[in-house]
Amino acid sequence: MPRSSRRAAAAASLLATAARVVAAPADNTFEIVGNSGVSAQQMFLSAPNKVVIIDKTEGNGNNLNINGHPAWTVEYNTDTNTVRALDITTNSFCAGGNVLGDGRWLNVGGNQPIGAGGINWPTLSAPYHDGDGGPAVRVWTPCTDNSCDWAEAANMTTRRWYPTLETLPDGSAIIIGGCDFGGYVNDAGQNNPTFEYWPSKGAPIGLNLLLTTLPANLFPHTFLLPSGNLFLNANLGNEVFDFVNNIEHPLANTPHSVRTYPGSAATAMMPLTPANNWTATIVFCGGTNLQPDQWVTTWNIAAYPADTSCISITPDVSTAWQTEDPLPEGRSMGNFILLPDGRGVILNGQLRGTAGYGNTSWAIGQSFGDGPIYAPLYYDRSKPQGQRMTRTGMGNSTVPRMYHSSALLLPDGSIFSSGSNPNADFISAGTPNYPYPTEYRVERFYPDYYTKTRPQPTGLPTKLSYGGAYFDVKLSATDAGANGANLANTIVSIVRPGFSTHVRWRSRGPG
């Protein structure tokens, strides 16, 4: 087996612990495997074979109901491709989420109650009977049976639509930004330029970056750095944020384009490894180069080409932005998924326009984006500049993944991809003048290592903790090769599955 394939197969095996390839499809292909039950606006891996999917308040095209209203969240079993309806009672439209140090998941914020057609509606009224999601805090506690469901915790002290959550070293979460009631972009009248913590540490605290980056400062890109600080990106603004001492260290503007919503670049923190001395490099690919006065809906945004540029920054080492290999085509709303061998896959998204929807004359149905991209590509940062992007041998998806789609890595090394609904409410396939309906099909993408023979390591722990005891991973003589020839090409990858929403995959690893 070639070195790169052997490394990838070994890493995928260690990631899976117990996953085995059975009747696998061809490598580098997409397969439609099931129905998501609700549109996958947000999702996370809650157990090795369970994906929790969260939608906004809307109709359900599967006629899936729970407790007297349409289901807006499910638990998807990746072994059986079946769903179990869950219950969220507040509008989770464009909420944020992440995992806590104890394994619980948070889903916070959203929007006001919605009626049929996406129209603002009094709380607990027909047909959806949804509560106000703006200040809401929803908690998911994992379980080993089918009893898990969402629990509503005490509200935040402020409303947040499009907030970002990041897990902190002590296992708590920081909740950053957002606005009061939503819209295509933010504005000074409803901006929420603050952060707070969960569990709560008191009243929200002001964040200057969110005052100076209107209007495209929603869902600020946030990464916890090895230094213990946070890297923040909102609109063109950037900073290293010492949240412990509440000190903001401004950085140079993002070059070329806006990467946050609704420009929505594909974004990832590259693996932390011994070879790079556990140094964090953050890569942004695509987005839009709309200028500050163009964030209005009086012109045809859906026809405007997405950006092709990719850039990177290593905030703990240098404040300088680096230019990466460009994308083969402009892409907004792409998902950037890290693989266990250290490469990334960029998939889904669109050629033109941005995230968002509305009833404008130029919208595609209601979509502010157009030109779905079906072709994925690999990004390999270990290659020299000019050779890091490739799609040689890769098959295409057959499902348009536009606004409100998500993707994440599964324990067997494949990628789970679902969702898409650039509309105010459920729109069925075939609806006239709506080329991008509500999408329930689930795809799996099988990377180029998927069917390769995998090593069978022993000694893998069932639980890991920071600062925990050492453990030994052992390979058989066959896997190690003659005189241990394969050991030099063997790596151990630890990937923290993240919270995926609106292109953003909050993950860490491999490392």
Q: What is the pLDDT of residues 210-248, one digit of tens each?
A: 999 999 999 999 999 999 999 999 999 999 999 999 999
Task: Please count the other Cβ atoms lying within 10 Å of the Cβ belonging to residue 359.
Answer: 10
pLDDT of residue 9: 42
Between 492 and 248, the more confident residue is 248
Instruction: Report pLDDT digits (tens) over 416-455.
Output: 999 999 999 999 999 999 999 999 999 999 999 999 988 8
Strand, coil or helix: 117: helix
Q: What's the rounded mean pLDDT across residues 486-499?
A: 86
Instruction: Report pLDDT digits (tens) over 2-46.
Output: 444 444 443 443 344 334 444 568 999 999 999 999 999 999 999
Q: How remote is the C-alpha of 12 from its chain's centroid?
A: 20
pLDDT of residue 15: 40
CATH number at residue 365: 2.130.10.80
Residue 134 pLDDT greater than 50, yes or no: yes
Report d(CA 229, CA 91) in Å as an integer.
32
pLDDT of residue 120: 85
Residue 498 pLDDT greater than 90, yes or no: no
Question: Would you say 350 and 373 are in contact if contact means Cβ atoms under 8 Å apart?
Answer: yes
Query: Cα angle at 59 between 336 and 112, to 5 degrees?
Result: 80
pLDDT of residue 313: 98
Nearest alpha-carbon partner for 215 in 195, 250, 189 = 189
Beta bridge partners of 150: 140
pLDDT of residue 126: 85
- Tell me the C-alpha to C-alpha distance, in Å, between residue 302 and each of 262, 352, 354, 439, 488: 12, 6, 7, 20, 49
Residue type, 151: A
pLDDT of residue 462: 82
Nearest alpha-carbon partner for 238 in 259, 215, 269, 261 = 259
pLDDT of residue 509: 44
- Tell me the C-alpha to C-alpha distance, in Å, between residue 105 and each of 123, 141, 196, 388, 499: 25, 7, 17, 34, 9
Share the mean pLDDT of the chain: 92
pLDDT band with cut points at 50, 70 and 90 for residue 464: confident
pLDDT of residue 503: 59
pLDDT of residue 17: 36
Between 119 and 375, the more confident residue is 375
- Tell me the C-alpha to C-alpha distance, in Å, between residue 176 and each of 106, 295, 494: 13, 22, 27
pLDDT of residue 504: 57
Q: What's the rounded mean pLDDT across residues 112-132?
A: 89
Report d(CA 205, CA 146) in Å as an integer.
39
Range of the domain at 458: 3-508
Six-digit token pair at 486?
A: 């394969």
Domains of the chain: total: 1
Biggest CA–CA distance in the chain, Å, is: 71
Peptide bond preceding 193: is omega within 30 degrees of 0, i.e. cis? no
By the 10 Å C-beta count (0-12 exposed, 13-18 middle, 19+ buried), 207 is classed as buried
Where on the phi/psi map is residue 134: left (φ > 0), alpha (ψ -120 to 50), or beta? alpha
pLDDT band with cut points at 50, 70 and 90 for residue 507: very low
Residue 461 pLDDT greater than 90, yes or no: no
Counting every residue written for the chain, the total comes to 511
DSSP class of 138: E
CB-based contacts of 44, cutoff 8 Å, min separation 6? 51, 52, 97, 99, 105, 408, 497, 498, 499, 500
DSSP class of 277: T
Handedness of CA 286, 292, 294, 296 (dihedral sign): positive
Report d(CA 151, CA 325) in Å as an integer.
44
What pTM was estimated for this model as a whole? 0.93
Residue 116 phi, psi dihedral angles, 5° rounding: -55, 140
- Both ends of the chain: CA-CA distance in Å? 23
pLDDT band with cut points at 50, 70 and 90 for residue 410: very high
